[in-house]
Structure 1
């Protein structure tokens, strides 16, 4: 498991493997590169002295117990901002010492990987990067003896901003419980998120797509006043629909262990998302349909465009994947489920629908869904009220918004299309291609532009 952070990749200009020595050296004097909850600098190597051994164990365990991060050795800092390059030796002996000290000073032993950036002008010297992903085995303790007699025996560090905090006994107990129950409870967690939203939103009488993501390794998004103000500003300005400039979330509110993204003025007809502190998320997206004017009311349907459905699905996957990875620090795989419903009462975890009164006419919103494809691709043969899809996806594929995202979307879209009698979703191909002929109007222009910017291959049919 490797550490990935969109914030750091944007700051550095690429992934840790792809950037150069010069990219790191260019951080000197950049206030945006100041030490943070995912970034630390060290001027020189950790030594064998007791204080340095304790510092090394504290630094790597603090990242592993939070959202992960990187330590750049060979860079001095002044008030957190990188200030001067001090190349360090990049020999194997240093790496072996790090491996031995981290393994013997943390329990469970923290997993990490290293990246070397050699100075072209000084072979054998440069930057040593220690990359620590958020750990599924957290909490990690420091096992080296404390240097100060007043130091508490409880030795569980966690990164807090640019400094280190020490976890309380209550937090440690909760973290241990989460470790032992997380993997067994992923499916239950999925159902819990869907039940909460479906039960609270039964007045949503329009067709909706609900996309739910639960990471296999829980993350850790802290909500306090400072972080809320940062998240609130970013999420209200978020443009999650691929290739489009729309900002669907007009308000961001704090709720129990989550942020709620919504539009309070038209709540039942607008996008609603819950972003949880463990990296889970669910997004309810209302879908525009055209109303069938069949002369027989009982045979009328709501026609849904296939390209709209796929566009919403792919956008939601990217948005929720980025939340899990970049805001909560989780890595690896996630369970994803997509539910297409003609109204919220059709969701399998919604509460029972009240019976209509005798003689009451059938409301328009109860008509089932039909699916229309564009170009040479066939329309749906059947109608339905609920279609469901599920898959396991790599969070990096979703958050990086490239070919991997299209492949994951194709897998889920095919499952959603099957109840309509369509064998394969035409807008996207399983190999990760965009089929332009299956998109129409403004959506075709948006998705084509997005694909070109992100290196996603396209085909005419």
Structure 2
């Protein structure tokens, strides 16, 4: 499951909401402050074990997923004003944990993501609360199975109601419109960034990402300073030794712009690397790569030799760009759900392109000459792209594989679509790739 993020609830609890960080002390913070139930916060004393109660955990999860996501705290008592007044707790056990997982999974359709987090009371052996974290779902509406029919619950304030037929129809229409909206958004932000990429010898690898659950990063002096501390001194490009940090970070219209290699004579044109990160979590990362045919352009092939992009440079650009954009979307903009990713490669001075691989000290063409470049698109869970995970490797393998097939080459062999890497195929990067994979727990071949 993807990491649950909520600025409001994290501020109330004083911690991120994960199994590793959430403790009994954080729950007592809610009790001491008498925090009321809300659309994203629900208190339950316990769930019954009678057949008529079996759908209730799933109903509460579906309601959260259909609204804005949130937390369900089991073992919590409230007063008539829906304020948290006590934490009597419930017995914690593997059996009860499994029962909750089963009840929710069996009754919610389509499946909604959730996590059941046991939070033990350190002063009472075997007693604590279960916290069910439910992200807002892009697959809304979720129905809950009751007897032989379905209901589609949602939260309104601190109460749960069922959707009406018109609202349900609107939700279905919105679900199918989402993919079209993402494509339009990715076209828009990609064009904005490509217009800032200077025309020079070599190619640009442009990675764009749009989450299906937009975030909302607030840009002010405090958040901008924190962002510069987090991103300003870190090289986002993997396997380079971390020597090339961003040279310029400035706010733009509902976005932040990060650049390396700004042409002082070219206005806003960037020669090296640029990123535009939008407040809704969308973003574009563009990295210039040298033309591996530049030195031989005047040989027997003549001045018309195409721009050559090395396959390792392509893979590093895509792997780094996807991870960088996903981390921003998840951790700074609080976006969620799946993400649509597009990779576009092209010669910035369009004369056509080819892919090359290094062998025996010379660059060898892979596949065929292509004009003017190639494009690939994939969707994947945002949270799993933001960390060094097999999903990040697998998604990159699919994207790079699609690019390579556009050039008439069958596939990429350096990484695989089941999330593994082959260090020996990375040449001079082999040791760095192996060390990265071992640290991240990614399997090697």
- Residues 241-252 of structure 1 aligned to structure 2 (within 5 Å): 241-243=237-239, 244-252=241-249
What is the alpha-carbon distance in structure 1 between the residues aligned to residue 394 and residue 421 of structure 2? 10
In the alignment, the residues of structure 1 paired with residue 409 and residue 209 of structure 2 have an alpha-carbon distance, to the nearest angstrom, of 25
Matched, 1:430 2:417: yes
**1:122-161 correspondence runs (5 A):** 122-134=124-136, 142=157
- Deviation at residue 428 of structure 1 after TM alignment: 0.8
Does the CA-based 8 Å contact 1:66-1:220 persist in structure 2? no
Q: Of the candidates 293, 301, 317, which is equivalent to residue 312 of structure 1? A: 317
Establish whether residue 444 from structure 1 lines up as the match of residue 435 from structure 2. no
Give 1:2-401 correspondences, 5 Å limit: 3-4=3-4, 16-17=18-19, 19=20, 24-25=22-23, 41-43=29-31, 55-57=36-38, 60=41, 88-89=89-90, 114-119=116-121, 122-134=124-136, 142=157, 182-201=178-197, 203-243=199-239, 244-263=241-260, 265-266=262-263, 267-290=269-292, 291-293=294-296, 294-343=299-348, 346=350, 366=351, 368-372=353-357, 379-384=365-370, 385-401=372-388
In structure 2, C-alpha distance between the alignment counterparts of 1:113 and 1:408, rounded to whole Å: 24
Q: CA deviation at 1:415?
A: 0.8
1:381 and 1:141, CA in 2 relative to 1: closer, same or farther beyond 3 A?
same
Q: Is the 2:5–2:135 contact (alpha carbons within 8 Å) kept by the matching residues of 1?
A: no
292 and 140 in structure 1: CA distance in 2 versus 1, 3 angstrom threshold: farther
With normalisation by structure 2, the TM-score equals 0.67
Local SS of the residue matching 2:125? strand
Deviations 1:111-155 (A, max 9, x none): 9754222347623423543535346579975267xxxxxxxxxxx
Shift in Å, 1:399 = 0.9
Q: Quick one: distance in 2 between partners of 1:14 and 1:227?
A: 18
Partners of 1:457 and 1:112 in 2: CA distance: 27
C-alpha displacement of 1:456: 0.9
Secondary structure of residue in 1 paired with 2:329: helix
Q: Partner residue of 1:170?
A: none
RMSD of the TM alignment (CA)? 4.4
Return 119-128 or 447-456, whichever deviates more. Answer: 119-128
Deviations, residues 267-316 of structure 1 (Å, cap 9, x unaligned) = 53111001111111111111123225223424423433211210111111
Residue 435 of structure 2 corresponds to residue 454 of structure 1: no
The alpha carbon displacement at 1:194 in A equals 1.5
Q: How many residues align?
A: 359
Counting strand residues as a fraction of each chain, which structure ranks higher?
Answer: 2
Structure 1 residues without counterparts, runs of 5 or longer = 29-34, 76-85, 96-109, 145-177, 347-365
CA distance 1:402–1:421, change in 2 (3 Å): same
Q: Which runs of 5+ in 2 are unaligned?
A: 43-63, 77-86, 98-111, 142-153, 160-173, 264-268
